[in-house]
Amino acid sequence: MTLPVPIIQVENLRRRFGTQVVLDGLSLQVMRGEILAIVGRSGTGKSVLLKHLVGLLRPDSGRVLIAGEDIHRGRKRHLTRLREHIDMLFQGGALFDSLTVEENVAFPLQEKTKMTAAEIHAAVTEYLKGVGLEGVEHKFPAELSGGMRKRVALARSLVQKPEIVLFDEPTTGLDPILVRAMHQLISDTQQQFGYTAVIVSHEIPQIFEIASRVAMLHNGVILEVATPDQFQRSTNPAIQQFIAGRLEGPLPPV
């Protein structure tokens, strides 16, 4: 039997902004090839955690290891090299408004590789097809729906063939049908391309349909990590309150 191997290890991570403690000794492992959902109340530091995983923020103490390597150990080029294996999708997609869909997806290949124009065009076509978008190459982001823009952003990430993709609330602003469609797209592309996914989400219970495991962030630490079934059956009153969306319980209204 092959045991799961962690591709991300977070060890005793601490980070404060002024007097506000956001991460307070947080530890977590993300297994290679899984879809890990990170849930929790708004303002608990979920996006801050993602930014630590990709190296956009440096912890006050503790460390983040990617494939066994401390991302902040060594010079800046060490972090740059590790970042080549990770991509992060922000809530809005962060597309370039002045570039077409094809130009947006092609951009990282033009900047980071020595691929020819023909090779880049072929790759862009393949990955746009992979996210269910064909025939929109010459459109601009403003001409697309919110769901389509998120698909373009995903194609731009996947065309770089990352080992890890971090999703910061990828379904923000989408209606319930598009939420399910986006979740299905993440699941399908994760199986097709084999990346490890970490998703910050408020979509309860929909995120349970695609997650391998669910981790709840509370008071600067991971309160519990479990499979979706185990998570929903948890006896922890804070988790049950969060899942049910009840006002009464250990989680105070903010």
What CATH number should be reported for the domain holding residue 22? 3.40.50.300
Alpha helices, DSSP H, located in the chain = 46-53, 76-83, 101-112, 117-130, 146-158, 176-193, 228-232, 237-244
Do the domain assignments include residue 239?
A: yes
User: What span, in angstroms and rounded, lies between the C-alpha atoms of 50 and 52?
Assistant: 5
Using the 3D structure, point to which of 119, 154, 189 is the last residue of a domain: 154
Do the domain assignments include residue 51?
A: yes
> Which of 194, 235, 230, 193 minimizes the C-alpha distance to 215?
230
Coil, strand, or helix at residue 33? coil
**Do residues 25 and 44 share a domain?**
yes
**Do residues 75 and 21 share a domain?**
yes
Residue 2 has pLDDT above 70, yes or no: no
Q: Looking at the 3D structure of the chain, how many domains does it have?
A: 2
**Do residues 15 and 134 share a domain?**
no
DSSP codes, 90-118? -TT----TTS-HHHHHHHHHHHH----HH
pLDDT (0 to 100) of residue 163: 93
**Do residues 220 and 125 share a domain?**
no
- Report pLDDT digits (tens) over 170-198: 888 888 888 898 899 899 999 988 999 99
Do the domain assignments include residue 250?
A: no
Cis amide leading into 205 (omega within 30): yes
User: What span, in angstroms and rounded, lies between the C-alpha atoms of 130 and 229?
Assistant: 30
Using the 3D structure, point to which of 125, 154, 183 is the last residue of a domain: 154
Q: What are phi and psi for residue 123, nearest 5 degrees?
A: -65, -45
Q: What rounded mean pLDDT belongs to the chain? A: 89
Residue 89 has pLDDT above 90, yes or no: no
Residue 58 has pLDDT above 80, yes or no: yes
**Do residues 177 and 145 share a domain?**
no
Do the domain assignments include residue 253?
A: no
Domain with 94, as residue range(s), is 89-154
Residue pair 63/72 in contact by the 8 Å Cβ criterion: yes
Over range 96-118, report the average pLDDT: 91
pLDDT (0 to 100) of residue 93: 67
Backbone angle region of 251, left / alpha / beta, with phi > 0 → left and psi within -120 to 50 → alpha: beta
Residue 245 has pLDDT above 90, yes or no: no
**Do residues 53 and 22 share a domain?**
yes
Residue 201 has pLDDT above 70, yes or no: yes
User: What span, in angstroms and rounded, lies between the C-alpha atoms of 104 and 119?
Assistant: 15
